[in-house]
Structure 1
């Protein structure tokens, strides 16, 4: 049975080219990048820094603004915790639609360090209320504030209106952290033009390896950040420990390939999404799409989220899996079988959730129309 993998927002398949780079690095790069007394160490160091330069070139930042981490969750933790401990942040402004690695970390910081936290209001489509955001910033003008909002929502695909956020952060002298984990490597992003103070990325979201990511911290802020992991001088002294060279090389190659061929990649994903929307409308009358995921200009092309009319059946996703179709109900970092995600709960009426189940479809470069046909056929069989 040919299987249809439609959960690329959770993790993407690794590209063959990326795999080959990693294999070569594992096979031929023997040294520790901190052992620069000999050629083996210097060669490893060269791979490390060339990868950093390649990534920086593609996302338009300075190489010295990139800190390699074990993934997006660690990168978000590094930024949020360092902001409180080293930048004296006393107030955090975020939304209830953020990734658990942001929400849970902010909750922990608020308890440990008595940080005040506010949540920007959102409507039933997940659109943030920027008047409310400004009101909160104005009321807390005396506190050093960090605004933390994701660039692309990982469940409903909404694109953040970053220009409005940047404007308000500048107006009220607040730092701006954006979880860009679903954005970097999947849509064109120019950090040179965007006034983010902090951003994050994870390689396995754009056809690279798991277990490697990065934090982007602007150079004027990086000088103020103290060690997050102690015990060495790696990553400018912020994150001690021998770097994951083959993972970093894989991350670099994955991001290079993504930015090489963006126009055709995005066109393919958009066509798949449009086809999927069209086919879903044929089998589900009055289908309800979550957030702005069905809007071509207001959401990322790769994510589509909708409510599937059915009795409360938490085995729905397993039924689909048995039919060869892999989808999800939301974030893989919040994957309790019975619990509906906090994002869907925040934007959907409870009475509606009693008679529907959310399904997140996320497309990737290896998907074809046949994968969507498999999904549609499986949904029809389940309904019968």
Structure 2
């Protein structure tokens, strides 16, 4: 099977073979399968030893003591435990938290939940390049501020913050400092002492470890006070109840060991790939970097392509596995809150793509990706500019919830393109969505009898809009102007089997058609005798 080139390591990474081997050794009857809490026999003690060895590897990665690591089910739980746990343990008079508007939803949604309970949350907007203004942060701190939460490496843009400066500021003001480092392991060096961090969230599956396991660093001295969210067994020094998943924990420990040993090599490799990718994309023209040019970790590059929608670009690149933002945002089918907080306009939001190569991505892979992007951009720009594009590769079935009808029309776009200049009897109609991010133009070649001999379209927007333009042009060809008025947006949506969220594409197609028909009546058809 010829699988797409994977460039979405910020969403998740493949588990390293050495990690898999370590995990398998903790599953079978001959391995360390025991319950780590069962210290009365060798099976449990062996599992406990593996858990503690893994804990030591995580601690070594971030420069802390082994006993300061608390196992969780992932970075999301670690973020929740850090913020909600600290809030539960907060001294009287501390009811304020400061964070960034570009943080992960695990932090932002936890803050919203705390706000419902009476906490005051200050959510700072970054500069246009995603970097936090330290003076703005200093001004936001108050006497009742308990905690500041800042991401080490942004999951959508790769932007890094000045963690040392933030740590010095928070420590001088007696405020807890939480770092979401889910994307940082293997990309930048982590040192909780240098950052003066009190709490740090970590994830295994972003660093070639398994899904379903993470960790929270909780500083012991001076003690960062956190109360548990789960109760029922007293594991993890009472901070996180539940039987420890030995195989997952061992997998995370091995992944952290590998990340620590390969950090310098991996970080340099990812930086080089990012630079090569950005240089190649910039040559296309009309490509804008979303984030800071230099203050960014290797392995994450976010760009917007002027005049093109990310959904169409992704479907035009079936040979590449990319994303239009974080995996969580992609599920929600909404524009990136990170890029919105950075002040991007609607068109740039809708055209944003995230490339995230990984440890095993090669220079040849990047060059292959660049060539595929060049072809896809050229095709979509032709569609938007009224030129007849070459047929595209067929997207994967079910992509973005589309059925085969939309995907086939998107790939073929057989009726795209303008009529030649000077072609007689051409009527035109255009429709734009309210946000100005999608445009469809319908062109009709109409004879003196009011018969539509041929129809064409040009589209800037989603695959649904391109398919709707193609279907509309096909459906009205050979009909009279009056007959063509019978084609409504409902007919278009039903024929294409559009999902509910894509119905606006059918509406735009209907509006563009009506505008073209009205233009034909006004300019091309003879007026009835006696008409004013």
For Structure 1 versus Structure 2, the TM-score category normalised by the shorter chain is over 0.9
Task: Tell me how far apart the structure 1 counterparts of residues 15 and 367 of structure 2 sit (CA, whole Å).
Answer: 24
TM-score (ref. length: structure 1): 0.92
Tell me, what secondary structure is at the counterpart of 1:192?
helix
* Deviation sequence 1:248-273 (CA, Å, 0-9, x none): 10101111011112222222212211
* Deviation sequence 1:34-92 (CA, Å, 0-9, x none): 11111111111111111112221232101111000000000000111011111244001
Task: Give the one of 48, 63, 81 matched to 1:60.
Answer: 63
Alpha-carbon deviation of 1:286? 4.2
* Deviation sequence 1:267-323 (CA, Å, 0-9, x none): 2212211211121122x214210011x42xx11011111102234463432332x2x
C-alpha contact (below 8 Å) 1:5/1:371 kept by paired residues: no
Tell me, what secondary structure is at the counterpart of 1:76?
helix
C-alpha contact (below 8 Å) 1:325/1:374 kept by paired residues: no
* Structure 2 residue 199 is matched with structure 1 residue 198: yes
Equivalence for 1:119: 123
Equivalence for 1:150: 151
Alpha-carbon deviation of 1:197? 0.5
Alpha-carbon deviation of 1:221? 6.6
Alpha-carbon deviation of 1:337? 6.5
C-alpha contact (below 8 Å) 1:314/1:337 kept by paired residues: no
Task: Give the one of 71, 86, 90 matched to 1:87.
Answer: 90
* Deviation sequence 1:322-343 (CA, Å, 0-9, x none): 2x10111111122146421001
* Deviation sequence 1:184-227 (CA, Å, 0-9, x none): 23322122322100001000111111111000011147674333
Aligned residue pair count: 373
* Structure 2 residue 103 is matched with structure 1 residue 98: yes
Name the stretch that deviates more: 244-253 or 87-96: 87-96
Alignment CA distance shift 1:353-1:211 (3 Å): same
Equivalence for 2:517: none
* Structure 2 residue 291 is matched with structure 1 residue 291: yes
Alpha-carbon deviation of 1:130? 1.6
* Structure 2 residue 358 is matched with structure 1 residue 364: yes
Equivalence for 1:211: 212
Alignment of 1:26-41 (within 5 A): 26-27=27-28, 28-41=31-44
* Structure 2 residue 282 is matched with structure 1 residue 281: yes
Task: Tell me how far apart the structure 2 counterparts of residues 305 and 171 of structure 1 sit (CA, whole Å).
Answer: 35
Equivalence for 2:139: 135
Task: Tell me how far apart the structure 1 counterparts of residues 287 and 125 of structure 2 sit (CA, whole Å).
Answer: 25
Alignment CA distance shift 1:223-1:378 (3 Å): closer
* Deviation sequence 1:4-25 (CA, Å, 0-9, x none): 1000011011111111101111
Q: Which has the higher contact order (CA 8 A, sep 6+)?
A: 1
* Deviation sequence 1:159-206 (CA, Å, 0-9, x none): 111122112212321111110111123322122322100001000111
Alignment of 1:336-355 (within 5 A): 336=331, 338-350=333-345, 352-353=347-348
TM-score (ref. length: structure 2): 0.67
* Deviation sequence 1:330-371 (CA, Å, 0-9, x none): 1112214642100111224325427x6101111111111232
Unaligned runs of 5+ in 2: 380-532
Equivalence for 2:171: 170
C-alpha contact (below 8 Å) 2:11/2:327 kept by paired residues: yes
Unaligned runs of 5+ in 1: none
Tell me, what secondary structure is at the counterpart of 2:121?
strand
Equivalence for 1:381: 375
Equivalence for 1:19: 20
Tell me, what secondary structure is at the counterpart of 2:304?
strand
- RMSD, aligned α-carbons: 1.8
Task: Tell me how far apart the structure 1 counterparts of residues 225 and 342 of structure 2 sit (CA, whole Å).
Answer: 38
Equivalence for 1:325: 320
Equivalence for 1:308: 305
Equivalence for 1:271: 272
Alpha-carbon deviation of 1:376? 1.8
